[in-house]
A and B are shown apart, each in its own frame.
Chain A
Amino acid sequence: MSQLKILHVDDEPDIREVAALALAIDPEIVVQSAASGLEALDVLGGGAWTPDVILLDVMMPELDGPGTLQRLRALPAHSQTPVIFMTARAQAPEQQRFIDLGAMAVIIKPFDPMILASQVRDILAGAGS
């Protein structure tokens, strides 16, 4: 499998850590975490590190997931970077709203740590096929 760089954005430290552990099951995945939408924009705006996909929590204080996505798309280097929202129990209309905002997919929380890495790869493979 090819290397995959992932930026994971979530305000909950425990979730960031368990997601990093879960994604590390796939040895070809490189994860960087951000604790907020603003921190994610700092990472991305700096240009020193460019992820292949961004996992973005929806409900965060200050700048939520949709707000982060909107500002992300204004960055020329990230106007097309795939974004997967992660959120608790989004119902179908809300999931569709996230897709309409420009997300590639939605992963429902709670996620299963044992399959998170393959879930992300499957979503990206599906989008490319």
Chain B
Amino acid sequence: MTDAFQALRARFRVRAGEELAQLEVMTATSSDSMELRRLVHNIAGAAGTFGFPELSHAAMAIDDDYTAGTVPRPEAFQRLATALSLAASTDEA
């Protein structure tokens, strides 16, 4: 499973870069849209599986805010953006 998993993890890292760009576009207009909620929820659910716990935790914090009916603070999105950037730039060569 290891080689196949590493290939999927590499693909996830590419996706993290794409999701960072999506996050920046989405949060520029709203902190609470269905697209943004889905993006955050998916990151929360997937990142830990691919070995990025901080990214998962950052997304979970925002997901929890949505679940509680609270608009997430800008700092929470900044934490998520940083974690996405780190995941995307992780050098595993």
Q: Chain A residues in contact with chain B, CB under 8 A?
A: 12, 14-15, 17-18, 21-22, 24-25, 59, 61, 86-89, 91, 94, 109-113
Tell me if A88 and B49 are in contact (CB < 8 A): no
Chain B nearest CB: distance from A15 CB in Å? 6
Q: A59-B41, A89-B44 are in contact. Are A21 and B1 (CB under 8 A)?
A: yes
Closest to B12 in A: A14
Q: Count contacts on B: residues with CB < 8 A to the other chain.
A: 23
Tell me if A113 and B1 are in contact (CB < 8 A): yes
Tell me if A109 and B1 are in contact (CB < 8 A): no
Interface of B is mostly: helix
Does B24 belong to the interface (CB within 8 Å)? no
Complex: A86 Cα to B48 Cα, angstroms: 14
Q: A18-B5, A25-B1 are in contact. Are A91 and B15 (CB under 8 A)?
A: no
The list of the 7 closest CB pairs from A to B, nearest first, reads A110-B48, A109-B45, A88-B45, A110-B49, A88-B44, A89-B60, A21-B1
